[in-house]
Amino acid sequence: MHRRSFLVATALLCRPLAPPLGAAHAQSAVPAVAAFSILGDMLREVGGDRVAAQVIVGPDMDTHNFQPRPSHAEALRGAVIAIRNGAGFDAWFDRLLSSTRFAGVAVTATEGVALRPASGAHGHGGQDPHAWQDVRLAIQYVRNIEAGLVRADPAGAEHYRARAAGYAHRLEALDGWIREQVATVPEARRVVITGHEAFGYFGAAYGVSFRAPQGVSANAEPSAQQVAALIRMIRAQGVTAVFLENIGNPATLRRLAEEAGVRVRGRLFADALSAADGPAPSYEAMMRYNTGAMVPAMRGDG
């Protein structure tokens, strides 16, 4: 028995270690899956070329109401690390992890983050999952992804630590820039209307008040009373920053803006990045774009 095991082990050790030409990257890169586009971007930032990242919910797609397909289970079966937001944002991803009996490293990006209670009419006492909208909390996401990659691929620990440190440094600068931008808006004018309650963390971190006709999960139609109350608020406070989002149905917000007599100022990227050729193809670009759109709209410029 022992002798036989020894022979098998020797045979395995003697196999050529170098992969075939041209397949080096595909064979050595760590297969990883992220639940949605924002986490996918963070994963690529920390992982660099050591990681082959797949994203399940792509740009401009709604993660709250996503229905996974068999190909997504297949991607998870081949992965050694899987990254989800948690806090009820991507609950379907948890079901996918258990149905595929995922045995790799499962990272919850919001682990250790002090989550806000869901506000708004459709909250039902749950938690607000959109913590990435506060850049300081996004740095915690980066730390969690870094720790997961180090666990899944210890040989790359130095690589991941160096990349995460550089990325976190850039995010700290981004956080400061957002604060400077918001500071140019008089306090009384720091009000933004969006499609759903995705900006609670941005509001708490940067001192902006957000109101939306739809709650944190973006899947219930607002009542006529809620829409009417928002219209009264826009008129009474002279709110000028009204935005659509890149996910969800824009019909309610367009009607609301029309009835309130204000112009829709464009789209914000709340829960998903834009496509590569759009204005928010990375997390950093998304935060810069949103801030750059909101600040002049709050001031009432243009």
Task: Tell me how far, at minimum, the Cβ of 44 lies from Zn ion, in Å.
Answer: 22
Contact in structure between 130 and 109 (CB atoms under 8 Å)? no
Residues sharing a CB contact under 8 Å with residue 251, sequence separation 6 or more, in sequence order? none
Which tokens in the block code for residue 31? 């297969």
Judged by beta carbon, residue 178 or residue 272, the one nearer Zn ion is: 272
> Would you call 203 helix, strand, or coil by DSSP?
helix
- CA atoms of 55 and 32, how far apart (whole Å): 9
CA distances from residue 77 to 28, 102, 148, 154 in whole angstroms, order as listed: 17, 7, 17, 20
Task: Tell me how far, at minimum, the Cβ of 179 lies from Zn ion, in Å.
Answer: 23
Q: Residues in contact with Zn ion, total (CB under 5 A)?
A: 2
216 to 255: interface string for Zn ion, x by CB under 5 A: ----------------------------------------
Task: Tell me how far, at minimum, the Cβ of 260 lies from Zn ion, in Å.
Answer: 23
Task: Tell me how far, at minimum, the Cβ of 90 lies from Zn ion, in Å.
Answer: 11
Judged by beta carbon, residue 127 or residue 240, the one nearer Zn ion is: 127
Task: Tell me how far, at minimum, the Cβ of 100 lies from Zn ion, in Å.
Answer: 25
Contact flag: residue 197 with Zn ion (CB under 5 A): no
Judged by beta carbon, residue 182 or residue 198, the one nearer Zn ion is: 198
Q: Which of residues 267-296 bind Zn ion (CB under 5 A)?
A: 271
User: Which residue in 198, 262, 268, 287 binds Zn ion (CB under 5 A)?
Assistant: 198
Judged by beta carbon, residue 185 or residue 294, the one nearer Zn ion is: 294
* Choices 51-59, 109-117, 120-128, 265-273 (CB under 5 A): range interacting with Zn ion: 265-273
- CA atoms of 70 and 249, how far apart (whole Å): 27
Judged by beta carbon, residue 41 or residue 271, the one nearer Zn ion is: 271
Q: Tell me the Ramachandran region of residue 48: left when phi exceeds 0, alpha when psi lies from -120 to 50, beta otherwise.
A: left
Judged by beta carbon, residue 108 or residue 133, the one nearer Zn ion is: 133
In the chain, alpha helices (H): 2-13, 24-28, 37-47, 70-77, 91-99, 135-152, 157-183, 200-206, 224-237, 251-260, 283-299
Task: Tell me how far, at minimum, the Cβ of 271 lies from Zn ion, in Å.
Answer: 4
Residue that is written with structure tokens 């075939």 in the block: 20
Q: List residues binding Zn ion (CB under 5 A).
A: 198, 271
